Amino acid sequence: MAIKGVGRETADSILLYAFDREIFVVDAYTAQVAFRHGLIKPEADYEQLRELFESNLPPEVKMFNEYHALLVRVGKEFCRPKARCAGCPLENLPHAVEEG
């Protein structure tokens, strides 16, 4: 993280994807889905989000890879800044979308 441009998300991505370390990667998609579905408060920081997933998933590299990929897909396709809930695989779970 001492290298310019390498923050927590990048460092965690390298640890998970390149070194097979059991580190859950948090990105904007992960945060958006977690906040909208009431898994964590919007003011939660990176470490709180990472802990949420790491403490609720089996600590397996393959699981973290797949789970993160699925959150990215849901985030890109449905849980965008202007949410498109219709057809989302999480549509029937409790969630809140801010109007605006």
Domain locations in the chain?
8-77
* Global pTM value: 0.88
Confidence of residue 2 (pLDDT cuts 50, 70, 90): confident
Which stretches of the chain are DSSP H helices? Answer: 8-13, 28-36, 46-54, 61-77
d(CA 11, CA 28): 15
Look at residue 3 in the predicted model and tell me its pLDDT: 87
